[in-house]
Amino acid sequence: MFGAIGIVLLLGCVFGVFIAHGGDMTPIIHAAPAETATILGAAIAAMLIGNSLDTLKGIGGGMGKIFGGPMWHKQDYLDVIFLVSRLLKILRVDGPVALEAHVENPESSAIFSEYPKLMKDTALLHLITDTIRLMVVSSGGLNPYAVEDVMDAALKKHHHTALAPAHALAGMAGALPALGIVACVLGVVKTMGSIDQPPAVLGALIGSALVGTFLGVFFAYGFVEPFAGRLTQVIDEEGQIYQVVKQIIVATLHGHPQPLVIEAARAAIDHHNQPSFGEVFDGLRGK
């Protein structure tokens, strides 16, 4: 919602104020299609050259995140706390054998099936099952600090990969002003080829060339760079759910009491999505 409002405000402030102060949009409208094709076409081509297919697909999916926001909300954080806590309770009370089927085949697990949204995130699913599988096969002999190091490495790699589309957009934003200058230079070259024309014709040609510089800067700092920044924010926030899983598992391995485990999980969540201690504690009592 705010993204759409921002775009309308951006266009109004730039073009609306220009028109209100007597600006003529005709030269811009006339030059914009060719200049836009040159600048955006070159920027997209450079993005194709410099990024993998997975990153390019991530950019497409990232546009939905830019306007739709993070996929995880308060109930999802409650669900992941309940899921991991239930699995660890089975390990503690019933032993590794009772838990093995759940972590080896989560798609067939009655516990995992209660959380279909969490199941859709394969990275989250593997973080949970792979780490708890280590606990199952080790029979309680794991060093909590070693497990934390392994989880940190996995989370760092995942987050780096998840941020690749945002970095690609940031690179595109950095290139657009320069590509606008390229379009402007081509326009100047075209103008110099018509140097024998009347001033009115030369003025129109120079104006068209300058539109290229304008559009390059406008697209970069009005659209693409804010898109990259917003996508980074969303990905950073979505990464909190993985930190919740890590905090629960590591705190449990350290042998902390349940209230401290709950607080460790809650501490990884932003306040606008953070469930209260009572919501978590009461929910766990019913599991």
Mean pLDDT across 77-103? 90
> For position 286, what pLDDT does the model report?
64
> For position 169, what pLDDT does the model report?
95
Domain extents in the chain: 28-287
Start-end of H helices in the chain: 2-11, 17-20, 26-50, 53-68, 74-93, 96-104, 116-119, 122-138, 144-162, 164-192, 199-219, 225-238, 240-253, 258-266, 277-285
Q: What is the pLDDT of residues 20-70, one digit of tens each?
A: 888 878 888 888 898 999 999 999 999 999 999 999 999 988 988 998 899
> For position 281, what pLDDT does the model report?
86
Q: What is the pTM of this model?
A: 0.87
Q: Give the Å distances, CA to CA, from 188 to 42, 210, 227, 245.
A: 18, 9, 31, 58
Mean pLDDT across 149-173? 95
Start-end of H helices in 69-143: 74-93, 96-104, 116-119, 122-138
Q: Give the Å distances, CA to CA, from 146 to 131, 209, 264.
A: 11, 60, 18
Which residues, in sequence order, are CB contacts of 273 under 8 Å at separation 6+?
A: 72, 73, 74, 77, 240
Does pLDDT of 195 surpass 90?
A: no
> For position 189, what pLDDT does the model report?
82
> For position 95, what pLDDT does the model report?
85
> For position 99, what pLDDT does the model report?
86
